[in-house]
Amino acid sequence: DDQHSLCKLAVFQGGFDAKAAYAIANLSLPHLAEFVNRSLVKCDTNGRFMLHPLLQRFLAEHLRESSANYGATREAFREFYVNLLLSQWQNLKTEHQHNALHTITRELPNIHAVWQTAIMERNCSQVQGMLPGLCVFYDIQSRFQEGKDLFQQAVEHWKQNTCTPQEDLILAQLRVQYAVFTMRLTYGQDISALYQDTLPILAAHDDAELAFTYLQMGWLKCLNPLEQEEAEIWIAKGKQLAEAK
């Protein structure tokens, strides 16, 4: 009913669009318009919807009281924004880059919320799926400090309790991205200690999902004149995995 659907909107951070509302709360545009007319939801001139902060907190409490509804809504929320970031990451490499940057910037609060939850809950597939898009987004926009902070926090949390080979692999990937942004901020300094012991972990895997990390490792190696041959090996492997994917 309307109350349950309205409660589902409390999962959003920083607003949402009609497509997200339909995917996560099963609310059509006419439903949203009705909520706007009843002053339950605000809509700006760009067609972006949002809840008043006080109403959002109230609805969030009610949503959490329904464990099944809460779990299903959170999972739909996470799936939607993981897929959104994946699709926009592909667009970042095309002539649609400007629109992709705009979309990611607009949805960054929601994307960050999903990322933080995935890190806290050690969701390997979601972290691995979001990692390239976040890295490329911050890199293109030269938001190196934000990128460094994001991946440093992820590394600090993830390394507290890695129990499986897959979790060790994710930690290695996170550390490579942390090293990339550290290098962006401290160009010319030796930061190999940040990623050196990830090399055997990464080299032991040839999953297609590692293509981006292999290319990033190649870039790090390229910066050292003594490691050009090794850099070429990482880059070639990354390209091979990307083509296989």
Residue type at 130 in one-letter notation: M
pLDDT category of residue 163 using cuts at 50, 70 and 90: confident
Angle at 130 between CA 137 and CA 74, to 5 degrees: 120
- Give the 3-state secondary structure percentages of the chain, helix then strand then coil, rounded to 5: 75, 0, 20
- Output the pLDDT for position 148: 97
> What's the one-letter identity of residue 210?
L
User: In the numeric block, which tokens belong to residue 186?
Assistant: 């401290």
pLDDT of res. 179: 95
Q: In percent, how much of the chain has pLDDT > 90?
A: 76
> Higher confidence at residue 53 or residue 150?
150
User: How far is 19 from 10, CA to CA, in rounded Å?
Assistant: 16
Q: Are 173 and 185 in contact (CB under 8 A)?
A: no
Residue 52: CA atoms inside 13 Å, Cβ hemisphere, count? 9
pTM of the entire predicted model: 0.92
The overall average pLDDT reported for the chain is 92
Task: Give residue 245's pLDDT band: very low, low, confident or very high (50, 70, 90).
Answer: low
Band the pLDDT of 171: cuts 50, 70, 90. very high
Residue 106: other Cβ atoms inside 10 A: 16
pLDDT tens digit sequence for 35-76: 999 999 999 988 899 999 999 999 999 888 876 788 999 999
